[in-house]
A and B are shown apart, each in its own frame.
Chain A
Amino acid sequence: NAGVTQTPKFQVLKTGQSMTLQCAQDMNHNSMYWYRQDPGMGLRLIYYSASEGTTDKGEVPNGYNVSRLNKREFSLRLESAAPSQTSVYFCASSAGVGSGANVLTFGAGSRLTVL
């Protein structure tokens, strides 16, 4: 019962370095999401993919890129990491968007520190 798997769980980067967070789901969900969570800010949507082949910006997309590699996988890339991107990142999936987004299944999170 893997659900949503994201890697790595922890990462420390230096300012300016790049990295990719990987996410895969095995629930045959159509939609996938990347959120970041910061103290006092709650969950904020970075990007989402309503279905394979589509991606859309969320609330805080600047500094990030995403790729929906196939139905199972949705990656998040930081091209030039900044200290402001220090956060906990969660990948999630759902059957669809709109009413299909009602139940999100989250991955365990990736804790990123940018020095």
Chain B
Amino acid sequence: RKEVEQDPGPFNVPEGATVAFNCTYSNSASQSFFWYRQDCRKEPKLLMSVYSSGNEDGRFTAQLNRASQYISLLIRDSKLSDSATYLCVVNMVGYSTLTFGKGTMLLVSP
């Protein structure tokens, strides 16, 4: 059974805060990892890929821990516009399609 687990939240944080999301996956042979972002009543969009060495894109940092089978997303200096649901996504060996977590909702308040 393929599983990607996320804390559903919501995470309520003030502007400027740092917030981290974790995600665990069940298939140790999983090969590719991503964070997608979904704004309220909109479609999901790719936020960033997650590489083994960790990667950063502006205020966003993604990390992968293969030994513990988890992925993290760190958002620094949160903005109101960061309010969204963040979906952890895994491409698992043996599956043709991506496996989505249920998402973690982030609410950034003034």
Question: Chain A: residues with CB nearer than 8 A to chain B?
Answer: 33, 40-43, 45, 48, 50, 56, 58, 90, 97-99, 101-104, 106-109
What are the residues of chain B within 8 A of A107 when measuring CB–CB?
43
What's the Cα separation between A50 and B31 when bound, in Å? 19
Counting CB contacts under 8 A, is B49 at the interface? yes
| B42 near A42: Cβ-Cβ < 8 Å | no
- A33 in contact with B97 given A90-B43, A102-B32, A102-B34 (CB within 8 Å): yes
Contact of A103 (CB < 8 Å), options: B46, B96, B100: B46
Counting CB contacts under 8 A, is B102 at the interface? yes
What's the Cα separation between A75 and B100 when bound, in Å? 22
| A102 near B98: Cβ-Cβ < 8 Å | yes
What's the Cα separation between A104 and B35 when bound, in Å? 12
User: Can you name 20 extra interface pairs (CB under 8 A) apart from A33-B97, A101-B98, A109-B43?
Assistant: A41-B102, A42-B87, A42-B101, A42-B102, A43-B87, A45-B97, A56-B96, A58-B97, A90-B44, A98-B91, A98-B96, A99-B32, A101-B96, A102-B32, A102-B98, A104-B44, A104-B46, A106-B45, A107-B43, A108-B43
What's the Cα separation between A56 and B97 when bound, in Å? 11
